[in-house]
Amino acid sequence: MTKNRHELPRKRPARAAKDEIAEDLPTLEPVADDLPTLEAIEAEAPPAGPVRVAALPGEGEFAVVLQVDVDDMDKKAVADAVKAPLTAACAAAAASLRHRKVLVRFGGEALIGSAVKDLVAELLKPRKPLLVVVQRGMGDEKVAEGKLPEVQVATTDSSAGVQADVATGELEAADLDLALAPHLPALQAAAKGRRVRLVFTGAARPDAALRGKLSELLLLAGARAGAIGERVLFDLDLTDRVRGTTAGDRLTIAVQCADSDETTQDALELALPDHAAACQGKFVRFDLSRPAGGPRARCLSWAREHGAVRVDFGDEVAWPPLLALVAGAEPTLRLQPNGRTTAQTLAALVAEAPAHAAACKGKAIVLDWPAGFALDAEAGKALCEVTGALQPAALACTFGGDLREPFVPDPCAFAQDGATTTVTLDSEAGKPAELLRAIDRRLPGKLAELHGKSVRVQVGGSAALSRTLLRGVCTTLEHAGVARLEVVDGDTVDVLMPTLLAVHKQPGGLRVEARLEGRDAAQIERAVERSLAKLATALPSLAGAAVTIVWPGADGASPHVARLLDLFVGKQADKVLLEAGAGKAQQLHPKPVVAPPPPPAAVAAPAALDVAAAPATAGGAVGPTQLCLLGRRDDVAPPMVVVGVPAGAEPAHLAAVEAELQQHLPRFHGRAVLLVLRADGRDVPVRRVDPLVDLLRRTVPATAAATLFFRGPDAEGRPHFEAVHSRLASVPAGTTFVDPRARRGVAAPQP
């Protein structure tokens, strides 16, 4: 009896004896699947003999009738012939013979002697019939008689309940049910509202079937509890604490916890088996009236043992666990919420992570979140706790096995250095796409703090950082309105903001101011490259406009100014001026021309030629001394002309070339002009801007629809031209084209 006065068995050991035995048993190898299949053999009916015995339904007072038919034979041989089949029939009908009235009726053609009566008595007495009567044509003959089994029952009524002491003596267990039957009505009458205990003494003990019957009878009689010795059959005072309801795929079990966890667990042991079938394949929820460690653990283990798909305690998912470890070179902790809310998922992550510390410490690991999971600030805090518990060398996150991004070490760290914020990008934290996702997650939250501030982007790690990624970060910072932006990559420090060139509109054109403060020569060079690329794309045609370049300390020969000049001339600016701080603007375009000696009469423009027939290098004179027409096509859009220009940088040569160009500018109108420098009868690729190239870039675009320079062979050995100026959408500036002379045989004019 427990301290709560419940007559219950002693607490079961935590580990079943069968589990200990199972560990000592040898492991059996699986049987091969390819064993031969044995065909079933149809059982043949035993051959019919001279004696046939059949068990028939009862008649009158007899519960069983054994019909024995004997064929004609010697009277003395009947007993021996009957013995075997009658023995088999008695064995088959043993359960129905016990304590029943049995009629053994003989028929057939044989004469049945009195010896058969003794044989019947001998064979049936061990089956304990209540009465055996033989009919052999001479009336009813009683050959055996027994009596019903009996037990002695003493009932005691006390404040603890009703106890029935049952003395079975030498009674066999099979007869116990029948022997108890006369005493059960009195026991049921005394059981209502009481706790009933039956104590059996003697050889016989109730089996499972009888225990179930007694339990059912006591429940129907209104007993509060029933027990056989120390075995509890039921206890409503306990089982009423555990109530289960099923709805669809969910089983809910409400547990009213007692003051003592032991009492609660006793109630669970009694009540849970009734819900075992309903637990299989269900979502099982336990509602405990108060937190209780022992009962909770028992509920969880019971539900798992009986096939629950998920186990909840209130709104908490207790099983299956959130984290599943997938072993490998890079261990993966996969999160499986199984219906958990975001808050429950994060709480379970922090709670379960320490169990995996041994497998993750010092390794590069992956935390695989469910697809679409939002990593907000709360998730970030949970990640910090998990990192502290696992102590990995590196940690990356994926979402449904995809969209990987690094978290440890931090791929995008922020530090304050005086008035400057340093953003360190770890190039070794992951692949470019992974780093970009990690940066996109961290950077937006800092942008408001960086507005109007000085920011330095530091590239960390020994690996090269993707140019596209770095450019994307810098663009984001520029749009956030930082006042100054530097990029430190190895030994290179580049200043991106403020931009080098500030473009302002003014009456009649543009004013472009160079802001050089805080930049060295190398930084200025990089800034010019960026500015030219942006302006080439952003500026529309400048036809009819004047452009003023403000560059302190520069002159017209400055390479940076020259490149800006080329850009504005290519955009068809009418005039380009330079303000270098001397107080007077210098006109760079159009450049004043010194009149050359009068040239001889111009040769008339050649007519269109069959470009497929003439050799690529054949040419005819375009002007008096300098220019050579290498090819022309008038049947394409736009029409093109290939002009050879003698290479040279002497002032007199430049003046002569410019003078001839001025003559032929009207002929270039609407054409794509392909310029080829020539020396000793060979083409000279343009690799850099020299005075002659500068002259051509400033002069030819005045009328040409597009201006292209011969650049020589490309990386694949194909001669090509590059467009340096264009008014045509089909020929964008900066685009390269295969040399049409090599591809189509553009012909030179014929004399």
How much is the pLDDT for 643?
Answer: 93
pLDDT at 221: 86
Percent of the chain clearing pLDDT 70 (strictly above): 87
H-run or E-run covering 531: helix 521-538
In DSSP terms, which residues pair with 722 in a beta bridge?
709, 736
123-128-132 Cα angle (round to 5): 65
How far apart CA 476 and CA 295 sit, in angstroms, is: 56
Least confident of 51-65, 199-213, 579-593, 651-665: 579-593
**Cβ atoms of residues 187 and 151 within 8 Å:** no
pLDDT of residue 709 exceeding 60: yes
Asked whether the beta carbons of 701 and 543 are under 8 A apart, the reply is no
CB 88 within 8 A of CB 128: no
Write the CB contacts of 575 (distance below 8 Å, at least 6 apart in sequence).
Answer: 509, 546, 547, 587, 589, 590
Amino acid 700: pLDDT? 92
Which of the residue ranges 36-40, 502-506, 566-570, 654-658 would you say has the lowest mean pLDDT? 36-40
The β-bridge partners of 240 are: none
Write out the two tokens for 375: 């990593």
What average pLDDT does the structure give for the chain? 82
Q: Please, which residues bridge with residue 156 across strands?
A: 163
pLDDT digits (tens, 9 = 90+) for 44-64: 545 568 999 998 988 888 989
Is 60 exceeded by the pLDDT of residue 42?
no
pLDDT at 72 over 80: yes
Q: 368: pLDDT confidence band, cut at 50, 70 and 90? A: very high
- The share of the chain scoring above pLDDT 90, in percent, equals 15
pLDDT in tens, 89-135: 999 888 888 888 999 999 888 888 888 988 998 898 888 898 999 98
- Those residues whose C-beta lies under 8 Å from the C-beta of residue 460, and which sit 6 or more positions away, are 424, 425, 426, 427, 428
pLDDT surpasses 60 at 146: yes
Under 8 Å between Cβ of 727 and 572: yes
266 neighbors 236 (Cβ within 8 angstroms): no
- 36 vs 696: CA distance, rounded Å: 95
The C-alpha atoms of residue 725 and residue 734 are separated, in whole angstroms, by 8
Cβ count within 10 A of residue 492: 11
Segment among 232-241, 500-509, 590-599 with least mean pLDDT: 590-599
Rounded CA-CA distance 154/686 in Å is: 125
**Cα–Cα–Cα angle for 329, 330, 332, nearest 5°?**
130
174 Cβ contact list (under 8 Å, min separation 6): 98
374 Cβ neighbours under 8 A, 6+ residues apart: 342
Q: How confident is the model at residue 491 (pLDDT cuts 50, 70, 90)?
A: confident
Residue with tokens 């709805």: 247
550 DSSP β-pair partners: 513, 579
Q: Which residue has the higher pLDDT, 11 or 356?
A: 356
pTM of the shown model: 0.46
Predicted confidence band at 673 (pLDDT cuts at 50, 70, 90)? very high
